[in-house]
Amino acid sequence: MNIVVCVKQTPASANLPIDLATGRIKTEGLQLGVNPFDEYAIEEALRLKERLPGSSVSVLSFGAAAAEEALRSALALGCDEGILLYDPAFEQSDSLATAHLLCAAVRKLSKAKGAVALVLCGKQTNDGESGQVGAALGAWLDWPAASCVKKIPQADDSKIVVERLMEDGVDTVELPLPAVVSVIKGINEPRLPSLKGKMAAKKAVVARWGQAELAADVSQIGASSASVVVKTAPPETRSAGMTVPGGSPEEKAAFLVQKLKELKFI
């Protein structure tokens, strides 16, 4: 099975500083790594590869030249090849445009290496957090897509069964292949690299595909992205809650009633 994993290089920390003037994340000087959600996608791809002999895992990343490091991290874990989608013409792509670029890359890979059967993504990134790229990629490819997948109990050459986490429970969905699946944290425990893997990844050649290779529809990518950013702002911070004091339920209730009266709720 030919598997593709889409990864993004993002800040390694969970607590990102936000520039209050622009509302954007301050990325200067931050340590970068593979988006944590994508680490689960890589691990799941490697586990499928181990389960289904003859499989290969290709890793795609759209980003700056430095994103090559994220691809090398994936190679160190056992992925077979890394491809960086990089071109000045791709800059300013929004999530739909990013998915369009990834779509062009998956199609190119299918032509070059044989049909891609499955694309795995992380549920979202820890910087942009749109959570749209996986589903949009499914739409561009015109393949079935499942988001928020917590388990892949079955996979063979023609179909995949996934458990999708919903707000009110879990859906079990069977998708014919090819398909796009985005996974959540907790689907697995990502492995650590081996030293020999790291050394081999350092020497590996990471391919670079630009507009010349992808021939993407220029009306869909880069500065032509469909979305317009009106305003960005950090989310409002929530004030701390309060613990209701009191030893017995009666005492707690009495305190609560008085507090609600003070606040003129009752």
State the residues that interact with another protein by CB under 8 A.
191-196, 198-199
Nearer to another protein, 92 or 194 (CB): 194
Please count the residues of the chain. 266
Shortest approach of another protein to residue 190 CB, angstroms? 10
Shortest approach of another protein to residue 177 CB, angstroms? 30
Nearer to another protein, 128 or 197 (CB): 197
HSE-CB at 28 with a 13 A cutoff on CA atoms is: 1
With the C-alpha atoms ordered 121, 124, 126, 129, is the resulting torsion angle positive or negative? positive
Nearer to another protein, 192 or 229 (CB): 192
> In 3D, which of 220, 155, 157 has the Cα closest to residue 181?
155
The span from the CA of 184 to the CA of 67, in Å, is 22
Nearer to another protein, 122 or 193 (CB): 193
Nearer to another protein, 63 or 193 (CB): 193
Shortest approach of another protein to residue 18 CB, angstroms? 27
> In 3D, which of 52, 35, 43 has the Cα closest to residue 186?
43
The span from the CA of 45 to the CA of 5, in Å, is 7
Shortest approach of another protein to residue 191 CB, angstroms? 7
> In 3D, which of 140, 126, 123, 104 has the Cα closest to residue 16?
126
Shortest approach of another protein to residue 171 CB, angstroms? 31
Helix, strand or coil, per DSSP, at residue 156: coil
Nearer to another protein, 194 or 258 (CB): 194
Copy the structure tokens of residue 192: 């650590």
Is the Cβ–Cβ distance between 18 and 24 less than 8 Å? Answer: yes
